[in-house]
Amino acid sequence: KFQSLGGRRSLFEYCLDSYHVMKYITGKLGFDKFLQKELRQAVKAYDYERVELLLDTVESYLEQEEHLERLSEVRAYLTRNWCWIRPLKDRNLPVSDGVGVCESGHRFYTNRMKKQGRNWTRQGAENMATLLVSIRNGEFERLYRATVSEPVFSEEIAMSASKALKVMKHKEHTIPQATIPVYGPKSSAMGRLSSLF
């Protein structure tokens, strides 16, 4: 799925951030605080031999079936995702950090694409995403100017809506006064309405 989303990029790196890995370990191994602490340190150090040693040792003395099952889930999770847990600084990449981009940077896109129950066609979503990426990368103005032969807006007419409204002259409105005429008895519907006012 990530490869299909990569688009024109020839390389992508999937990275599980430390917060979620540690949260998973803490949630599953709440029954053994010492194991939690040691395993978290081993994962932070990216030491798989130490992780295996800890898991094997604890598995040898656990007796409760529920605890053994949780330990097995942690082992499977770490084994399955070990290559994605490797810190960016330990990978042969031109960047050494930046997982926060995945965590907080997406809000710029999701706030525009998902809020208020918006629906998109595939082409519309791709167009909007391309537009947002160019704005985010600071390339929109250059790309826009390169594709439009004549500027649509000149600098002279660029002004805020509030400034334009202040310049406009408005006529004062008057509210006409009215009365409800009563051409019948006070017991009629119009008579009762008139007495209310």
Q: Which pLDDT does position 42 carry in this prediction?
A: 92
Tens of pLDDT, residue by residue over 78-127, are: 999 998 888 777 778 776 655 555 556 677 777 777 766 778 888 888 88
Tens of pLDDT, residue by residue over 29-87, are: 888 888 889 999 999 888 999 999 999 988 888 888 998 999 899 999 999 999 888 87
Q: Which pLDDT does position 186 carry in this prediction?
A: 75
Q: Which pLDDT does position 134 carry in this prediction?
A: 86
Tens of pLDDT, residue by residue over 139-170, are: 888 887 777 666 565 555 556 666 666 666 66
Residues near 194 by beta carbon (within 8 Å), at least 6 away in sequence: 180, 182, 186
Average pLDDT over the chain reads 78
Ordered by start, the domain boundaries in the chain are 18-90, 107-147
